[in-house]
Chains A and B, each alone.
Chain A
Amino acid sequence: MATATEEPRLLGSALAAEDAGEIDGAVGEQGLPRGDDDDEEILRFMDSVDGYLHLMDSLSSTLRQGWLDLASARHSMGPTRVSSTLLDHKEQSAATKLQVVDHAGLQLSESKPHFALSKWSLQEECYSTCNAGEQASSEPNLRHRGSATTPEDGNHERDATKAGSSTGSDTSSHVQRARSKALSVFGALVSPKLRTAQISFETALELILELANSRSSMLASFSQLKE
């Protein structure tokens, strides 16, 4: 593990610690140039840092919009109606969750978790309906080459289309129901600004997910470079 007293190396430069036993800098062992793998890792690291900063900037803008909408909702509905005192402390499961998978790096010593978002329990709810949709569409569609489609062909295609569209409409109605349930904490009739705030914070969640993955990538590249 690198200690504070070791001289850190500068990326892409030939500066190297002359300490005994340390081989660093652009020139590797026995005076041979740094490998392409190192350059790739450095580029990956720089990209992930750059991506992280850009994402943080986007998150700041999105959050600002969310706070503004929340303030507007509070202004129109009244401060007592948009307050943390209304938050429900009854047992409830989060509707939006994460999935974490470990994508181990090239070396066994590094861990690289990957995060995925499951908004409004969509993946769990969609599982059965999506499967139904897939089964309907995977059934063989009878061809119709220029000839008039038989009623069976037409029905079949209509069923497959209906299955697809009903899956989509099921999903969107499920999402709408879940959103309304989250909003219902603040009353039956809420300001449109509160709904807009909800969308802003949902977008912020997506950015946070990308940030978490970018962080994971950055730390994995960093530990690779340190070694």
Chain B
Amino acid sequence: MAGRANIPTNSSALIAIIADEDTVTGFLLAGVGNVDLRKKTNYLIVDNKTTVKQIEDAFKEFTAREDIAIVLISQYVANMIRFLVDGYNKPVPAILEIPSKDHPYDPAHDSVLSRVKYLFSAESVASDRR
């Protein structure tokens, strides 16, 4: 039997955001913005100049940080690094794909629903990507 992943109880965890400018601005208005001593933020604004490498690095950084409990990522940005997002399977931080202004939410691309989808279908969607 596989060992259970330990989830340390955390009473002051952060929400990280990888999304377009308006989405990040909105959530910062709601008070989730954090800047530490080394000027590291818990958000990445994705625009047309942002490279896939930058998005990958931000995703890897946010999922490795112990002070982050949820990572919000616009679904169209997640599609750019789909292999990374689908390969992530830890319970914390939780990855949530959210819609953006120009790209509505598509449940067919959601990594969480893709993982559980095969219970409803004879095809294993996730296996095609691995």
Do A and B interact?
yes
Interface residues of A (CB under 8 A from B): 1, 4, 7-11, 45, 49, 52-53, 56, 59-60, 63, 66-67, 70-71, 82-84, 87-102, 104, 108-113, 115, 118-120, 178-179, 182-183, 185, 194, 197-198, 200-202, 204-205, 208, 211-212, 215-216, 218-219, 222, 225
What CA separation (Å) do A67 and B104 show in the bound complex? 13
Of the residues B27, B39, B91, contact of A201 by C-beta under 8 Å: B27
Q: Which residues of chain B are within 8 angstroms of A225 by Cβ–Cβ distance? A: 119
Is the CB–CB distance between B104 and A60 below 8 Å? yes
Of the residues B2, B104, B113, contact of A1 by C-beta under 8 Å: B2
Q: Given A49-B113, A111-B91, check contact A97 B45 (CB 8 Å).
A: no
Question: Could you count the A-B residue pairs with CB atoms below 8 Å apart for me: how many are there?
Answer: 185
Is the CB–CB distance between B91 and A67 below 8 Å? no
Smallest distance from the beta carbon of A213 to chain B beta carbons, Å?
9
Smallest distance from the beta carbon of A195 to chain B beta carbons, Å?
9
Is the CB–CB distance between B115 and A99 below 8 Å? no
Q: Which residues of chain A are within 8 angstroms of B10 by Cβ–Cβ distance? A: 98-100
Is the CB–CB distance between A91 and B37 below 8 Å? yes
Chain B residue, CB-CB nearest to A178: B31
Of the residues A63, A104, A212, contact of B23 by C-beta under 8 Å: A63
Contact of B42 with A by CB under 8 A? yes
Of the residues B7, B41, B112, contact of A100 by C-beta under 8 Å: B7
Of the residues A96, A102, A215, contact of B30 by C-beta under 8 Å: A96
List the one stretch of B48-56, B80-88, B94-102 in contact with chain A: B94-102
6 pairs of A and B residues whose beta carbons are closest in the complex:
A4-B127, A95-B31, A96-B31, A102-B7, A94-B34, A201-B26
What are 13 A-to-B residue pairs whose CB atoms are below 8 Å?
A: A60-B104, A87-B25, A89-B35, A90-B35, A97-B12, A97-B14, A100-B7, A102-B9, A111-B4, A194-B29, A201-B26, A201-B27, A212-B94
B1-13 toward A: CB 8 Å interface, digit per residue (1/0)? 1111111111111
What CA separation (Å) do A60 and B14 show in the bound complex? 22
What CA separation (Å) do A197 and B14 show in the bound complex? 21
Q: Given A8-B122, A84-B45, A98-B15, check contact A115 B70 (CB 8 Å).
A: yes
Q: Which residues of chain A are within 8 angstroms of B8 by Cβ–Cβ distance? A: 100, 102
Of the residues B4, B25, B31, B41, contact of A70 by C-beta under 8 Å: B25
Known: A67-B22, A111-B4. 4 other contacts (CB 8 A): A90-B35, A101-B9, A108-B4, A215-B96
